[in-house]
Chains A and B, each alone.
Chain A
Amino acid sequence: MVKTFRPATLVNWRAMRLQRLVWLTALFVLLPDSVFAQAVAEGRVELQKSHAAPVIAKRYEIVTTGGVLATQPPLAVVYLDGSFPKPGSPPTKQIAQKNLAFLPPLLPVQVGTKVEFPNLDDTYHNIFSYSPAKRFDLGRYRPEERPIPSEVFDKPGLVTLRCEIHEHMRGLILVLDTPYFALTDADGRFRLSGLPSGRYTLKAWIDSKTTREQRVELKSGATLHVDFP
């Protein structure tokens, strides 16, 4: 797919200015609350024991075991479920294709996030997804493809990324409604800060078929310890 150059720099510049204005306004509005009413949740998710050899390079990949997609070694995504005001403009994230694998293999994003798929291999890739949460097909492109092919994920759910050329490649994008989410480390530890106080459900996505959840009451300025056994 060849993307043509769009002569819309001015429009973009305006949009950026507007974005900055929105961010500043939000900062002012939220600052007192975020400074005084921020809550922290931290703890540990009991991850499945990895059967693979210890990973030195910390490379993670998506593996399917009996139809279940998960990272290997296991990682979990912990997020605060609930209805939160959407950010004006979610950040742009990246999943690269490197050495015929998605990097990172698992990416949690907030709804509306634009994800770029830079090709860091010296070959064609054709990223597509037939997942209900997002169907797209970027077509074939080489590393020098500019702008970097991207998609905006505007519907919550798990999106399975595939490459039409390299059928073994799998990537996962977990599109969440919430802005409060974090990836655990290899031991399953997580820390979520800047959470709003109140009663919520804290969820831990472990694999495509397993999501654990716990009811939590977050108090401003307090750190809640939550473990997912």
Chain B
Amino acid sequence: MMVVVALMTGLGLYFAQRNVAANVERSLQQDFQGQLSALDKLQELRHAALAERCRAFASKPRIHAALEDNALDLLYPSAKDELRDLMEGEKPAPEQSAQSLHARFYRFLDQAGAVLPPSKPAEVGELDEQTEGALALRELPQTQQIGYVWENSNRSDSAIDEIIAIPIFSSDTGEVISALVVGFKPFEVTGKRTGVEMRSGIWVNGQLHVPSFSAAAEAALSPELNNAIANSDRARNNFIVRVNATPELLFYKRLNPGSLFPPAYEICIYPLADSISRQHRLRWQIGGAGVLLLLGGFFASHLTAIRLSAPVEKLAMDSEMNRAHRRRAEAALVSTSEELKRSTRYSADASHQLKTPVTVLRAGLEGLLTREDFKPEVYEELSALLHQTHRLTGVIEDLLLLSRMDAGHLRIDAKPVNLSHLVDQWLDDLGALSDGRDIKIEREIPSELYVAGEERYTSLIVQNVLENAHKYNRPRGWIRARARQENEQVVLTISNSGPPIPRSAKEHIFERFHRDSTRSAISGHGLGLNLARELARLHGGDLRLVQSENDSTEFEVRFRASRASPNRGSMS
């Protein structure tokens, strides 16, 4: 469990860390992009300001006059006056030179786009031949052009200049007759705002120039950058480089898209060391927090487990006790069963032992009754005693039968029994009883209903139920016997009038030796229904009380229907 938890926590931490790392990266990129776009805006403004300034100078009438009135020799001298502000003005402090609009040099282009050589180079900013050549354009531009050139690239004090070419339109013809190309110190990015030293440089013509970089570092960076720029189809991109063995994020962006001048790229280099160390720190923090969390969780879960296990242990103890109870109960059951067996045996023995004296008793009484020298009261007494012995015999036989059943010794030799016939016989007998109660007997018994069973016991069942119906009847009451076949069963319903069985007694009527206390006046030994039910069940059927309300009590006996043919049954 703990392993799973640890695994899940580890996974969670891993993804959290990755997420955080991605966020850091994204925020870094956003920061960077934000800075760059701010820079773009700044550059744009700067270019606009520079261009506006240059355009104002280029529209000076003297310059136009020099160009339009065929006075090229007066061009630079005129420009010297006009562009004095641009070139001379206030010399900015070196650290602010990049932010100022102070021009380093200017040149005019002729109709073909070539540089018009100045008469006094010192006045217009001296340039080596190569740099001056780089100011030329294939043709005169219709719009302002931004470019970057290496100034004195073969010297140690080489620098990159930002150049703006402003077309000069003839006031006579409206056509471009010249262009003013002004060189400025390029705008430099400083990372002062972020607190991280972001360096910027310019890439032009396959050469990288980052002011704060050594020539070696520039040279090391150049091939990768050249490759990236050559293969880049986007205007802006970034990748990670290693400068002096520390990782840096490098962004590059085209400075002069669509310019007639060679493409130049702004290069921004952002040291990643700080960000990486921050990420490392964050990773450790997350990891540490995770471990602490895990440990805390472990202890918490342990405590919880102890709390939780208390009832479980109690449960185990209880169950142990339960088991002991069960064992005791089982032992009790075994002893009960043995007792039961013993009692069954006893009952059987007792029955046998009783049978003989009762038979002797009955024989003696019958013998006495045959004598004629007694008083009439004695005969009555004797016949009552004889009746009691008959009753005793019935009880003993019932008990014997029951004990045989209890012992499992009773075997049913099932044969088709004509139930209709059986019921008719018993009903006839009941009808013949003259006890003065005048009980009406109704029967709805289809003829030739055969059940599977032993005739003796089937008869006993029917007898017991019918006797019960008669016994608990009322004067001028009725007994109704109905039988029908239901699929594989034959259902015999015996109902009788008379006071209903009390609710409390209903559950006990099938118990052995049960006799309704309210009806104790009625003769019986309380074995009849029990015996009938046991026998019915033994025959694969059942006996149950259907209902006993008001003036009606109904029992239902189910027998297995016999599959034997009626012919055969009738023959038996």
Q: Which residues of A contact B (CB under 8 A)?
A: 64, 66-69, 128-132, 135, 160, 162-165, 167-168
Is B64 in the interface zone, CB < 8 Å from A? yes
A168–B60 Cα gap in the complex (Å)?
Answer: 11
Given contacts A67-B172, A69-B172, A167-B59, contact A128 B65 (CB under 8 A): yes
User: Interface-forming stretch among B66-74, B358-366, B375-383, B398-406?
Assistant: B66-74
Is B173 in the interface zone, CB < 8 Å from A? yes
Q: Give min CB distance, B490 to chain A, whole Å.
A: 134
Q: Are B66 and A130 in contact (CB under 8 A)?
A: yes
The residue from B59, B64, B69, B170 contacting A129, defined by CB atoms under 8 A apart: B69
Provide the residues of chain A in CB contact with B185, threshold 8 Å: none
Given contacts A135-B71, A135-B74, A167-B59, contact A129 B65 (CB under 8 A): yes
Is B102 in the interface zone, CB < 8 Å from A? no
Q: Are B59 and A130 in contact (CB under 8 A)?
A: no
Q: Scoring B residues 154 to 186 as 1 if CB is less than 8 Å from chain A, else 0, what string do you get?
A: 000000000000000011110000000000000
A162–B65 Cα gap in the complex (Å)?
Answer: 8
A168–B78 Cα gap in the complex (Å)?
Answer: 18
The residue from B62, B170, B172, B173 contacting A128, defined by CB atoms under 8 A apart: B62
Provide the residues of chain B in CB contact with A163, threshold 8 Å: 61
The residue from B64, B66, B74 contacting A167, defined by CB atoms under 8 A apart: B64
26 contacts between A and B (CB under 8 A): A64-B171, A64-B172, A67-B172, A68-B172, A128-B65, A129-B69, A130-B62, A130-B70, A130-B71, A130-B74, A131-B69, A131-B71, A132-B69, A132-B71, A135-B71, A135-B74, A160-B65, A160-B69, A162-B61, A162-B64, A163-B61, A164-B62, A165-B61, A167-B60, A167-B61, A167-B171
Whose C-beta in chain A lies nearest to the C-beta of B82?
A: A164
A64–B69 Cα gap in the complex (Å)?
Answer: 13
Those of B108-137 within 8 Å (CB) of chain A: none
Given contacts A64-B171, A135-B74, contact A164 B61 (CB under 8 A): yes
The residue from A69, A132, A162 contacting B70, defined by CB atoms under 8 A apart: A132
A135–B62 Cα gap in the complex (Å)?
Answer: 12
A134–B172 Cα gap in the complex (Å)?
Answer: 19
Q: Give min CB distance, A209 to chain B, whole Å.
A: 11
A129–B62 Cα gap in the complex (Å)?
Answer: 9
Which one of A67, A128, A130, A135 has the highest number of Cβ atoms from chain B below 10 Å of its Cβ? A130
Q: Give min CB distance, B511 to chain A, whole Å.
A: 136
Q: Give min CB distance, B61 to chain A, whole Å.
A: 4
Q: Give min CB distance, A195 to chain B, whole Å.
A: 33
Which one of A64, A132, A163 has the highest number of Cβ atoms from chain B below 10 Å of its Cβ? A64
Provide the residues of chain B in CB contact with A160, threshold 8 Å: 65, 69
Whose C-beta in chain B lies nearest to the C-beta of A164?
A: B61
The residue from A67, A165, A167, A168 contacting B173, defined by CB atoms under 8 A apart: A67
Provide the residues of chain A in CB contact with B171, threshold 8 Å: 64, 167-168
Those of B47-69 within 8 Å (CB) of chain A: 59-62, 64-66, 69
Q: Give min CB distance, B35 to chain A, whole Å.
A: 42
Provide the residues of chain B in CB contact with A67, threshold 8 Å: 170, 172-173
Provide the residues of chain B in CB contact with A164, threshold 8 Å: 60-62
A162–B60 Cα gap in the complex (Å)?
Answer: 11
A160–B61 Cα gap in the complex (Å)?
Answer: 12
Whose C-beta in chain A lies nearest to the C-beta of B72?
A: A130
Whose C-beta in chain A lies nearest to the C-beta of B67?
A: A130
Whose C-beta in chain A lies nearest to the C-beta of B174?
A: A66
A167–B67 Cα gap in the complex (Å)?
Answer: 14
Those of B416-453 within 8 Å (CB) of chain A: none
A163–B65 Cα gap in the complex (Å)?
Answer: 10
Provide the residues of chain B in CB contact with A135, threshold 8 Å: 71, 74
Q: Give min CB distance, B71 to chain A, whole Å.
A: 4
Q: Scoring B residues 184 to 199 as 1 if CB is less than 8 Å from chain A, else 0, what string do you get?
A: 0000000000000000
Provide the residues of chain B in CB contact with A162, threshold 8 Å: 61, 64-65
A61–B89 Cα gap in the complex (Å)?
Answer: 38
Provide the residues of chain B in CB contact with A66, threshold 8 Å: 172-173
Q: Give min CB distance, B39 to chain A, whole Å.
A: 36
A168–B70 Cα gap in the complex (Å)?
Answer: 18
A163–B61 Cα gap in the complex (Å)?
Answer: 7
Provide the residues of chain B in CB contact with A129, threshold 8 Å: 65, 69
A182–B62 Cα gap in the complex (Å)?
Answer: 31
Provide the residues of chain B in CB contact with A167, threshold 8 Å: 59-61, 64, 171
Those of B64-100 within 8 Å (CB) of chain A: 64-66, 69-71, 74, 78
A67–B173 Cα gap in the complex (Å)?
Answer: 4
Given contacts A66-B173, A67-B170, A132-B71, 5 further A-B contacts (CB under 8 A): A64-B172, A135-B71, A164-B61, A167-B59, A167-B64
Q: Give min CB distance, A176 to chain B, whole Å.
A: 19
Which one of B70, B170, B172 has the highest number of Cβ atoms from chain A below 10 Å of its Cβ? B172
Q: Give min CB distance, B63 to chain A, whole Å.
A: 10
Q: Give min CB distance, A155 to chain B, whole Å.
A: 14
Q: Give min CB distance, A171 to chain B, whole Å.
A: 13
Q: Give min CB distance, B536 to chain A, whole Å.
A: 136
Q: Give min CB distance, B23 to chain A, whole Å.
A: 59
Provide the residues of chain B in CB contact with A165, threshold 8 Å: 61
Q: Give min CB distance, B206 to chain A, whole Å.
A: 42
Provide the residues of chain A in CB contact with B172, threshold 8 Å: 64, 66-69
Whose C-beta in chain B lies nearest to the C-beta of A133?
A: B69
CB-CB nearest 5 A-B residue pairs: A130-B71, A67-B173, A130-B65, A64-B172, A130-B69
Q: Give min CB distance, A61 to chain B, whole Å.
A: 14
A168–B64 Cα gap in the complex (Å)?
Answer: 11
A130–B76 Cα gap in the complex (Å)?
Answer: 13
A135–B66 Cα gap in the complex (Å)?
Answer: 11
Q: Give min CB distance, A132 to chain B, whole Å.
A: 6
Q: Give min CB distance, A129 to chain B, whole Å.
A: 7
A13–B172 Cα gap in the complex (Å)?
Answer: 45
Q: Give min CB distance, B430 to chain A, whole Å.
A: 150
A108–B90 Cα gap in the complex (Å)?
Answer: 46
Provide the residues of chain B in CB contact with A130, threshold 8 Å: 62, 65-66, 69-71, 74, 78
Q: Give min CB distance, A130 to chain B, whole Å.
A: 4
Provide the residues of chain A in CB contact with B60, threshold 8 Å: 164, 167
Q: Give min CB distance, A103 to chain B, whole Å.
A: 19
Whose C-beta in chain B lies nearest to the C-beta of A158?
A: B69
A128–B64 Cα gap in the complex (Å)?
Answer: 12
Whose C-beta in chain B lies nearest to the C-beta of A131?
A: B69
A69–B172 Cα gap in the complex (Å)?
Answer: 8
A63–B71 Cα gap in the complex (Å)?
Answer: 20
A163–B171 Cα gap in the complex (Å)?
Answer: 13
Q: Give min CB distance, B111 to chain A, whole Å.
A: 13
